Amino acid sequence: MRFDARAWALAASLVTLASCGSVASAAQMTGDSAATCNGLGGPADGAVKIDTATLQAPTPLSVTEKAPTPASRIVPANPAFCKVLGHIDPVDPKAPPIKFEVNLPVEWNGRSLQYGGGGFNGVLISGLGLPPAYPFDKASPLALGFVTVGTDSGHEQKPGEPPQQFALNDEAFENFSHKAYKKVHDAARALTVRAYGKPPAKTYFMGSSEGGREALTMAQRYPDDFDGIFARVPVINWVGLQHAGTRSGLVTMGDGWIRPAQIMLVADAVLKACDRQDGSDDGLVQDPVGCKAAFKPASLACAAGQSGDDCLTDKQIAAIETLHSPYKFSFPLANGLDDYPGWGVSGENTPAFGPTGGWKAWWLGTTAPAQPPAPTNGIAWIYGAGGIQYVFARDPKLDVTTYKPEDHRARVLEVSALMDSTNPDLSRFHARGGRLVMLEHMADYAQSPYAGIRYFETVEKTLGKDKVAEFARLYTAPGVDHVGSGAPANVDMLAVLVDWVENGKAPGDLVVREQKTEAPSFDTIRALPLCRWPAWPHYKAGPVTEAASFACAP
C-alpha cells in the first residue's frame, strides 16, 4: 500500500469524523477564516497572551529518512488551519512563561485534542504530529478536524543545560507537574469559542511517557476537563522511577557496567529461555511476566578463570538482578506507595537511536555512568541523577553516590504529592462519563510497565472491577520498547476513544498493525492484537508469518 503525498494531503484535508455517527457537530470558523484567525492575535484574558495567529495553507505528507522515534519520521498532511502561538505569564517574575500552540482547523469537527509532552518537557509540543501509538498511514487529528493543543509545560530546555534545571524554581516545577496542562486547556477552550462561537463538544487528551503521566494526572486532578484520555507507557510513579533509575545506574559504575556484546548475550539467553513457551519460534517473548520468573541472569555466570563477552561477572549479574528488583523506600510516598517495581525482560538488544531502544539506549549507554552525567550514558542515568540533584536535593553539585532519600524526606514527599499520578480514586472521572485507555509496552526500559499495571489493578481494587470495566481499559504489548520500536503496537486509539465516548462502544481486544518506517510505503506486514489485561499468556500459540494473526487468550 503506497501513498501519493499530494493525493493524501488533499484527501486528509477533506476528512472529518462526522461520518462516524458521533455526537460532536462539525462547524466552520465564524466569518472569513483569515480575518477570524488574524483577529485572535493580541491580548487575551488575564495572564494569557496571544503572540501570533496566522492562517496556514494545507501541507502534504512527508517522511524523513531517520528520526529519534518511528512516529517522528512522519510529518502528516495537514489542512488549512489557524496556528495560534501564545504564552501564559507566571506569577513569580523569575519563573518562565507557559508557552502553548493551538491549531484551529477551518473545517472543524467539534472536538479538541490536547497532546502530552515527553522527558522533562521544555519543548513546545505543536499538536501537528501523530499521537501516541497512531498508525503511520492515518490522517492526523488536525486533518480529521480536531482542534489540537500542545505546550512546553512552562519552561524551555536550552542547549547545554541539564534538562532538570528548571526545577529549582517552584512555580516552574508546579507547572510541569500539573498546572500548565490545565491552564493551557482553559486557554485553548477560550480560543475555540472565539474562533467558532462555541466550545468543543468533546475534549480528548493523549500522551506517552511523561505525557502519559500528564494524561493520568488530568483524569485524577481535573476529571471534568476531558471526555477521553489515552495514557501510553506513563511514568506514573515519577518519584519512584527517578530513584530506581538512579540506583540501576549506580550498580553499573565501574566493573558492573555491561558491554554491548554482553547485552546480546543476555537477549539471546532470554529468547532461549522463553521464546518457545508460547509454542512458536518467532523471536517475540509473548509472556514477559512468565519469562521474568523463568530467566535467571546467574545462568550466564563466568566459570572460574573465564572472562570476556561470553559470560557475566558477579557484579554484572548483581546489576541485572538490581534492574529486575523493586526499589524500596523507607517511608510511604503519595497514595501509600513505598516502592517502584523492577523492570522486566525481553527487548534488551533493541537497537538504540535517541530514545528508541533497549538497554543500550536507556540503561547502559555506550559508557559507564559518570558524574556529571555524560551524553554517552544511559538516558535513565541522565534523567535520574539529574533529578536527584536538581529536583530532590536541589544541589547541582551533589555527589549522587552519597544521596539518601531519608535525608531529603520532606522534599521527596513534596515532589511525590505534585508529580506522582498514582491516585486510584477515579470515581469523579467515571461519574462525569470519562473514558480512559492505558497501554503498557512490556519491553520498555525507560520505565517499568509493572508500575502502570499495578496502578490499574489498584483502581480495580478501589472502585471494583465491574465499575472500572465501564470506563477504563489497560492493554499490554509484548516486545515493544518505550517509543514503539520492536514488535508492533500501532492502534488508532483516538478512534477507539471517540467511539467509546461518543457512541458507547467499549473496546475489546484491538487489532495492531506492524508498519515499516524504513520506506514511505508504510507496508502492513502482519496483524497482531493488543489484548486486554489480564490475559497471560496474551497470545494463543501460532506461527508468525506475513499476514498471520494471533488471537487473544480467553
Going from the C-alpha of 475 to that of each of 17, 233, 343, 412, 501, the distances in angstroms are 25, 10, 17, 31, 18
- Helical pair 210-221 and 180-196, crossing angle rounded to 10 deg: 80
Closest-CA residue to 412 (of 332, 351, 342): 332
Give Cβ neighbours of residue 493 (< 8 Å, ≥ 6 apart): 131, 132, 133, 134, 206, 230, 232, 437, 439
Query: Active-site residue among 225, 278, 444, 481?
Result: 444
Q: Does the annotation mark 330 as catalytic? A: no
Which amino acid belongs to residue 446? A
In 3D space, the residue among 24, 227, 11 whose CA is nearest the CA of residue 108 turns out to be: 24
Place of cell 522511577: 241
Considering the candidates 209, 346, 416, 448, report the single residue annotated as catalytic: 209
Using alpha carbons, list the distances in angstroms from residue 353 to 160, 235, 338, 512. Answer: 20, 20, 33, 23
Q: Round to whole Å and give the CA distance between 33 and 35.
A: 5
The C-alpha angle with vertex 421 and arms to 244 and 225, in degrees rounded to 5, equals 155
Cα-only R_g, the chain: 23
C-alpha cell at 520: 514511505
Which residues are registered as beta bridge partners of 74?
63
Task: Calculate ∠ Cα 206-554-502, nearest 5°.
Answer: 35
Residues 6+ apart with CB under 8 A from 453: 440, 474, 476, 533
- Residue 401's nearest CA partner among 553, 250, 234, 241 is 250
Is 482 a known active-site residue?
A: yes
**214 near 207, Cβ under 8 Å?**
yes
* Neighbouring residues of 226: CB distance < 8 A, sequence distance ≥ 6: 114, 185, 203, 204, 205, 218, 219, 434
Cis ω on the peptide bond leading into residue 159 (within 30° of 0)? Answer: no
Helices 238-250 and 379-387: crossing angle in degrees, nearest 10, is: 110
- CA–CA separation, 328 vs 330, rounded Å? 7
Residues 6+ apart with CB under 8 A from 318: 251, 256
Whether 444 is a known active-site residue: answer: yes
CB 110 within 8 A of CB 200: yes
Rounded distance between C-alpha atoms, residue 489 and residue 530, angstroms: 7
Output the CA torsion sign for 203, 209, 211, 212: positive
The set of cell numbers assigned to 266 is 543476555
Looking at residue 47, its amino acid is: A
The one catalytic residue in 87, 430, 482, 538 is: 482
Question: Residues with catalytic annotation?
Answer: 209, 444, 482
